[in-house]
Structure 1
Amino acid sequence: MSNLARMSPLQFVHVLDLNKNLMRLEVGPQTLLLKTNEKLITGPMPMIVIPPGSYCEISDPVKAYVHGEKCELLLGQTKIKFHGKPFPLYPGEWLKAAPDFARGLTNYSAAVKSLPVVPENHGIRLRAILDHDDSGTFRNAGDIWQLKGPMTYKPRPEVAIEGIDAPKIIKKGQVLKLKATQGTIDASGKQRVTGEEWLVKEPGAYLPGVFEEPVILDKVVTLTHDTALHLKATQNIVDLLGKPRKTGDEWLLTSASSPEYSTQIGVEVVATLKITVVKKGQYAVVLNPVDKDGKPQLGKRVLKVGLCRFFLHPGEKLEFGKIQDARVLSEDDSVVLQALDKFIDTVGEAKVKREPGDKWLIKGPMIYIPPIHVKIVKQRKKIPLSKNEGVYIQDAHSGRVRLVMGPCAYMLTATEDLWQKELSNETENLLRHGGGSGEGDIRKLAYYEQSIDPMNAEGRDKTKVVTYRCPSNTAVQVYDYLQKTARVIFGPDLVVLGPHENFNVLSLSAGKPKLPNALKSLCLMLGPDFITDVIEVETSDHARLRIRLAFNNYFDVDKTDLESTRKIFSVPDFIGFACRQIASRIRASVALITFDEFHRHSAQLIQAAVFGKQQSLRFDVNNLVISGIDVQSIEPSDAKMRDSLSKSVQLAIEIATNSIEAAASHEAQREEQIAKGHLERQILVTEKESERERAKLYELRALASAVESTGQAKAEAQAKAERFLIECQSQIDAARLKAEASQIEHDAKLQFENKLRRQTLDYQKKMNSITIGKENAFAQLETNKFRQMVQTLGTDTLVAIANAGPESQVNLLKGLGLESVLLTDGNSPINLLNTASGLVGGQNPQE
């Protein structure tokens, strides 16, 4: 069957002659019987049918096909087929875009293409692949040209289709800018060189040539009173107004020069500008203004005051990049001005000649627009100062700093500025904390809480006056470094620092025992106050003791006497000075006496050591007076001595305690005997009453026992009877339930066995039925098989088998696949060889 090739109409095959190694084409309809030396290579394949308006490309076409002979293939070339009769592919040819068609696939629809249709105003771009003659025009390989529509283009093997070019639609008011990619002739017949640009303004459809590149399709710009164009020349040209422009020139085109602008070769539109409008109360300073020739005057400035409107020419820009508002000065406002050049100042009633660098001040109310020769240095407002408020002001000419206090509203002059007063970090910290700082456990810090200023907590304004609220009954010393003088302010009062003044910061001792420089303070507490200190002393018998003292103090000062007020600040650390002086007196006095004597008369000895025969102690160096002393505690500083003293004290306390306990014990025993007598008498009375009540109880118990014995016997007998009845009834119910359970269990087992036997019988019946049906089917199949084999072999074959010898019969049956076939009637098998001999009418195999 493989040697036959049946071809329907419009089908073909390729057959290879293996002897000659030639391939030939066979076209249907026919049935081709292949020879032993021939091989079917392709097919059967349908012939190629090209519908109208289509074409296909055949690669490696046959130059001239001769059936059965060697033919030449044009390798690398292409042949184009158009609508016509169906045609086959000759051996060696293949379809472009459908190369699998030659390998036996029957789909070649991808190779059939529609002919290119070029609409009106469009063009098809072509490129020559080979040198050829195109209707009298010789085309070199690589040449590109264009054919305009409307048309249907028939492709050629020598020409490649680059694409279809769409036209550019130029509307009214539009212009198309073109650029030559190489030397060409435009649509108007004008020669163009490479890189040249030109414009097409005629409305309609314009089809660019193959060497014409559309650069931009631009609209004609209509210029209004509010718009202008910033133009720049990219080459030497003459602009639309007939003015020559050089490369790089920039100019402004407004509606006053031309109502509209269309794209011009050599001119670039940098930006579209809007007119700058200066309103009333505004002004603008134009930097680098242009002159009449359009040249920028670098460094110059022009003032434009509203109401006005203007365009910024190329190179011009606004100062600060914006239109500025005129300075509206109220009665409390002023402006500091500085002259940049010589000019006559006409602001005011008189004309003033200003020199470069001059500074002056103008005050409101007025609206001020600075001339171009004037620079606004700063705008100021009056500084409102209430009572106890002030500012530091410095004169820029003399450098003098002064203090201005309220209540007033102060306006700085042109040469004045606010001056910042610097204070040390320590003073700043003291002002934030009310005038004092130290550890949190120092008692005197409570004096400063009332002087804390919330404004200083947020940060001090250094231009404002430094103030401190001096607490009551305190004094603050302020030193003027310029005058080298000091002044003292007594509280409650407000301390105001001058420009060159500063606080005298006190460094005081604090703590228990006193530590130097533990407390920083701006104010001195005049008293009355008390100072607490812990000192150590040693007796004549070398007992070291620690004494805790509190002594009252105050300053004896005459506030009207300047010398007296200065004297209180002569000792910077008056607390440490007083503590040291008092401690030295106490140590000297205690060192002359024994511990036992000091222990008995400590308060008197300390009072005598400090005050002597006087009532108070006065320090003349700073007028500090110690008016009283209090001994708060005395304890040995030595641990052994402290333990011995503690033991003696405990022993004295123990003796006193024992005596008190003995007296209390005696009194308790006496009261206890009295209580026992009363208790025994009460016991006897109570026992008498108890015996009487006990006799009544025995009588009642006898009666209750009799009743109880009778009722108990009756209840026990009744309970036993009910118990026996309940037990018997329970046994009867249990027996009945057991019988019912046995009956249910027996019935369930019987039903289960019946169902199991029934299912077993049904299963066995179904299996027997299936086995019988299977055996009948097998017997029927064997019978049909043997009948079909006999019918297939035929009478002649059976005769030949019967006439053949035994070995031949066996071989013949083996060849027929009947070696082991037996016929059976269910009881005895019958050999097919004997049966075959009888099928021919009992002929003798030897005949």
Structure 2
Amino acid sequence: MDRDRSRARAGGSDESIYRIPPFYYIHVLDQNTNVTRVVIGPKTYIRQDNERVIFGPEKMITVPPRHYCIVENPAIRGEDGSITLDQHGQVRLNHADQEIRLAQEPFPLYSGEVLKQVVSPLKVVTANTALRLRAILDFEDDTGTKKVAGDEWLFEGPGTYIPKKEVVVDETIRATIIRPNQAIKLRARKETLARDDTPRVTGEEWLVKKVGAYLPGAYEEVIDVVDAYVLTDKKALHLRATRTFKDQGDKLRRNGEEWLIKVEDAETYIPNVYEEVVGVVPITTLTNRQYCVILDPVGQDGKPQLGQKKLVKGEKSFFLQPGEKLEKGIQNVYVLGEDEGVILKANEAFKDEGVDRKPGDRWMIRGPAEYVPPVEVDVVTKRKAIPLDENEGIYVRDTKTGKVRAVTGETYMLTQDEELWAKELPPAVENLLQSHKDPLADRSDRSGAGGPVRQREKTKVVTFRVPHNATVQIYDYKEKKARVVYGPELVMLGPDEQFTQLSLSGGKPKRPNVIKSLVLLLGPDFCTDIITIETADHARLQLQLSYNWHFEVKDKTDKQEAAKLFSVPDFVGDACKAIASRVRGAVASVQFDDFHKNSAKIIRASVFGLDERQKVRDRFMFPQNNLIITSIDIQSVEPVDQRTRDALMKSVQLAIEITTNSQEAAAKHEAERLEQEAKGRLERQKILDEAEAERARKELLELQANSAAVESTGQAKAEAQSRAEAARIEGEAAVQQAKLKAEAARIEAESELERLSRARESETKYLSEQNTLEITKVKEMADIEVEKFRNMVSAIGADTIRAIAVSGPEMQVKLLQSLGLKTTLITDGSSPINLFNTAHGLIGANALQAPGKPHSTADSDDD
């Protein structure tokens, strides 16, 4: 634009001269009258002194076809389209107004006019699209319809929308495609008339199910696209009414009512706007081995029977109605074997196969049988017979009397008034029962029983295998009696019996309550203890003693003698204490040297005592529990006092030193002797090796001489032999090669002959089979044609064929007779006719027809 302006002024040197090109204009202000006028080119304008160019040169506005622009404050035009001026000569304007200008000649903007919107293309509305228009001023459209400000309507495509100053475009609406088994949900924004001419109120919703493109109206809005639910034999639709209305079957549905839509009602179903889909209900299928109980069943009148139950047995398939639910799901029929049963409980009074049952009654049904419990009965539990061996058992409690008993050695099924009873044992006893190891295997080193291996079934009878040469004590708290069982034996505890647990001393030195055990081993066995003693000269020593012991049981049937075995709870600790006391008393009266020399005799005499002959006895017995100590072994004697330990160490070191020196001298003498013997053997071996080397050197020289002679005479011989061998090998190779070539030629010839023979045989066989097929085909076709002709003849009939054959000549004769002809000859002119012998036959009403294409000539009576 600036370039055009400079070009317009370039013609003159004076700034008052304006050269206005074509389709350009300027605004000139007359400063005397304060009126602005428009000067349009092409023109050379000379500005007066009282004038001033306030705008331009500016290019005119060009609106091409299918375009528009908006001019604000447009100039007022007359009826003939001319510009209207006021009394001052100023262009009159419609202030605050707008004018939409379409394609026209280029035009200038007058003073005060403003181009609000530049030239823009008109909006093209495609098919299935519309513009929602809204009136902002009252006006009448092209059809004479009066529009009020605020009205809305659609401009539907295809078409080109020409804008108006009274109308604004709110939005572009595109049609919604409705596919099969689909619908769209619409809502009215205000009272309107729908496309199906149905009046709709504000806020009303409805469905459109017609397949195709649907363009919503001006006061319609698409809420959602609803897909149809496909119903099958195994699915139904659960619906709920959100308000009272009539459904598609013209049935009145009240607000909150629920119902099912099945495949019998519709294969596909689109819910109404007042129908809420609660969910898809799958079919409930029962086999002939299943049943179910329905709570709150729906009656024949369609109303739920609240609080009632309904038993449904298989084989059956059904849908649960709204409000119905299964009590415990689909249950299997109770199939009871011979060793099975069910415990039943009546929850209301009813009559069961002639037996009156009251609420709370319990009874059992035993197999073999099939049982389906009615709705008045609850299945408490299912029982199965428990097979028990002679060494197995269970604890059974009677729920009416509370008595507990043990059942062993039979197959037993609990009745309706019995239950399994769990026998509790102390935790220490539980651990000892679950341990697989014998806790008394090593009483001196064992610190306790092993950990638990597996959990005990508390309802089973507690069993314990008493090992060989051992015993256990069992106490019955109900009878207040104890019994002792000797091994090997299997102990089975009654409901009120418990094991007597032994708590023995262990470790070195002995500590109480280290070993826990249920069994008491009768021995023989041993235990080790460490005691501290002091001699008469106050030498304190520490002894490690080992005792062999066993229990003496003369009569295992004697209950008093058996009870004595468990009379001392910790027999190990008591025995070790008693023996240690005797040893300390005996050692306290002797000197250290005497004890060091005669320690074994002193200790054995102090424990076992001396008999009448002053000899040490061979046993020491504890009469309280018949424990017998048979021997004592002194494993170690160590001084506790440091001075005594040092003196013993010094004497021991001196003895060790004397022994070491003597051994060292003997070893040295022996080493010197061995050294001299080795030197003699070495010298002798050296002389033998030199003699052997000389003999080997002599043999080497002889071999070298022989080798030189052989080398001189053998080279020529080897060359001659090699040439002869090479010639022989070459000849044999040529012979072998010729044989192989002949063999290869023979194989190729035989293979080619065999190939040709097989090819000829295959070709001959193929031609033979082809000829056979062709003959068969021709024969069968001939048979078909014969059969076809025979069937046609039989279907038409002989009389009909004869009538068809003679129908032509007869019709011709009748035709000629109708024409009044006496004699007729019909021929095609190419076949000769002998009339000498047949002329008399031509006279009359008969006609002759020669073979060939018919050609007729007729003679009248005149001829």
TM-score normalized by structure 2? Answer: 0.66
Q: Any residues of structure 2 matched to 1:439-588 within 5 Å, and which?
A: 443=444, 445=446, 457-557=453-553, 558-588=555-585
Q: CA deviation at 1:203?
A: 8.1
What aligned pairs does 1:378-389 form with structure 2 within 5 A after superposition?
Answer: 378-386=381-389, 388-389=391-392
Q: Which residue of 1 aligns with 2:600?
A: 603
1:430 maps to which residue? 432
CA distance in 1, matches of 2:98, 2:439: 107
- Is 1:377 aligned to residue 370 of structure 2? no
- By how many angstroms is 1:326 displaced? 1.7
SS at match of 2:107: coil
d(CA) in 1 for partners of 2:448, 2:183: 91
- CA displacement at 1:305 relative to structure 2: 0.8
Q: CA deviation at 1:477?
A: 2.0
Q: What is aligned with 2:854? A: none
1:362-415 Cα shifts (integer Å, max 9, x gaps): 233333222111212222333344453333333322333333334x44333223
Name the aligned partner's letter for residue 506 of structure 2.
A
1:195 matched to 2:197? The reply is: no
Structure-2 separation of matches of 1:510 and 1:183: 103
Distance 2:596 2:43 in 1: 154
**CA contact 2:505–2:511 (8 Å) conserved in 1:** yes
What is the rounded CA distance, in whole Å, between the counterparts of 1:75 and 1:442 in structure 2?
A: 123
Alpha-carbon contact 2:448-2:516 (below 8 Å) kept: no
Q: Aligned ranges for residues 23-34 of structure 1 at < 5 Å?
A: 25-30=38-43
Unaligned runs of 5+ in 1: 99-110, 687-847
Alignment partner, residue 68 of structure 2: 55
Matching residue within 283, 286, 303 for 2:311? 303
Q: Which residue of 1 aligns with 2:359?
A: 356
SS in 1 for 2:203: coil
Instruction: Give the counterpart letter for 2:105 in structure 1.
Output: K
Q: Aligned pair in 2 of structure 1 residues 507, 26: CA closer, same or farther (>3 Å)?
A: farther
Q: Cα distance 1:191–1:464, how it changes in 2: closer, same or farther (>3 A)?
A: same
Correspondence 1:286 to 2:294: yes
**SS state at 2:457 partner:** coil
User: Partners of 1:255 and 1:633 in 2: how far apart?
Assistant: 99
Mapped pair 1:420 → 2:422: yes
Q: Is the 8 A contact 1:465 1:496 kept in 2?
A: yes
Q: Deviations over 1:15-55 (max 9, x none)?
A: 5769689876554445667799856855653641321x433
Q: 5 Å matches for 1:201-220? A: 208-214=216-222
Residues 1:235 and 2:243 aligned together = yes
Alignment CA distance shift 1:258-1:448 (3 Å) = closer
Q: Distance in 1 between matches of 2:139 and 2:122?
A: 24
CA-based RMSD of the aligned residues comes to: 4.5
Whether 1:345 and 2:347 are equivalent positions in the alignment is no
**Equivalents in 2 of 1:45, 1:491: separation in Å?**
130
Decide whether the 8 Å contact of 1:436 with 1:520 is kept in 2.
no
CA pair 9-326 structure 1, distance change in 2 beyond 3 A: farther
Q: Can you list the C-alpha shifts for 1:186-216, whole angstroms capped at 9, x where unaligned?
A: 4566654323456678888765432234566
For 1:470 and 1:34, how far apart are their aligned partners in 2?
A: 141
Q: Are 2:395 and 1:392 aligned? A: yes
Query: Does structure 1 retain, via aligned residues, the 8 Å contact 2:432–2:449?
Result: no
After superposition, the Cα gap between the structure-2 partners of 1:116 and 1:508, relative to the gap in structure 1 and judged at 3 Å, is same
Instruction: Return the alpha-carbon distance in structure 1 between the equivalents of residues 396 and 293 of structure 2.
Output: 34
- Aligned residue number for residue 698 of structure 1: none
Cα distance between partner residues in 2 of 1:387 and 1:462: 18
Alignment of 1:757-796 (within 5 A): none
Match of 1:126 in 2: 133
CA distance in 2, matches of 1:188, 1:599: 131
The structure 1 residue matched to 2:639, chosen from 625, 636, 641, is 636
* Closer, same or farther: CA 35–318 of 1 in aligned 2, 3 Å: farther
**3-state SS of 2:505 partner:** strand
Aligned equivalents of 2:26, 2:411: Cα separation in 1: 118
Q: Confirm or deny that 1:324 pairs with 2:331.
A: yes
Can you list the C-alpha shifts for 1:299-326, whole angstroms capped at 9, x where unaligned? 2110011123333222111223x32222
Contact kept? 2:26, 2:40, Cα under 8 Å = no
- The 1:158–1:635 alpha-carbon spacing in structure 2 relative to 1, beyond 3 Å, is same
- What amino acid does structure 1 have at the position aligned with 2:608? F
In structure 1, the partner of 2:407 is: 404
Instruction: State the Cα distance separating 1:268 from its structure 2 match.
Output: 4.2
Secondary structure (helix, strand or coil) at the match of 1:642 reads helix
How far residue 608 of structure 1 moved from its aligned partner, in angstroms, is: 1.3
Which residue type is aligned with residue 618 of structure 2? Answer: Q
Q: Give 5+ residue unaligned stretches, structure 2.
A: 10-18, 78-82, 611-616, 685-863
Letter in 2 for 1:144: E
Give the residue type in structure 2 aligned to 1:56: C
Contact 2:37 2:90 in 1 (8 A): no
C-alpha distance after superposition, 1:230-264 (max 9, x if no partner): 34333334556666543222234557789997766
In 2, Cα distance between equivalents of 1:606 and 1:70: 153
Whole-Å separation in 2 of the counterparts to 1:664 and 1:165: 127
Counterpart of 1:595, as a letter, is: F
For residues 189 and 657 of structure 1, do their structure 2 counterparts lie closer, same or farther at Cα, with a shift above 3 Å needed? closer
Q: Distance in 2 between matches of 1:215 and 1:141?
A: 27
Q: Distance in 2 between matches of 1:639 and 1:69?
A: 146
- Are residues 1:590 and 2:587 paired? yes
Aligned counterpart for 1:81 among listed residues 101, 104, 110? 101
Question: Once the 2 structures are TM-superposed, how far is the Cα of residue 421 of structure 1 from its aligned partner?
Answer: 2.6
Tell me if structure 2 keeps the 8 A contact 1:10–1:47.
Answer: no
Alpha-carbon distance in structure 2 between the residues aligned to 1:207 and 1:651 = 126
Distance in 2 between residues matched to 1:656 and 1:127, nearest whole Å: 133
For 1:631, give the aligned amino acid. Answer: I
Is structure 2 residue 181 aligned with structure 1 residue 158? no
Displacement after TM superposition at 1:163 (Å): 4.2
Percent identity for Structure 1 against Structure 2:
45
Greater shift in the superposed pair: 587-596 or 221-230 = 221-230
Aligned-partner SS, 2:401: coil
Q: How far does residue 504 in structure 1 lie from its aligned partner after superposition?
A: 1.9
- Give the Cα separation in 1 of the matches to 2:381 and 2:89: 110
Q: Does the C-alpha gap of structure 1 residues 252 and 649 become closer, same or farther in structure 2, counting only changes over 3 Å?
A: closer
Q: CA deviation at 1:176?
A: 6.8
Instruction: Tell me whether 26-35 or 128-137 shows the greater mean CA deviation.
Output: 26-35
Cα distance in 2 for partners of 1:604, 1:85 equals 151
User: Does the 8 Å contact 1:436/1:522 carry over to 2?
Assistant: no
C-alpha contact 2:467 2:488 (8 A) present in aligned 1: yes
Contact persistence 1:540–1:592 (CA under 8 A): yes
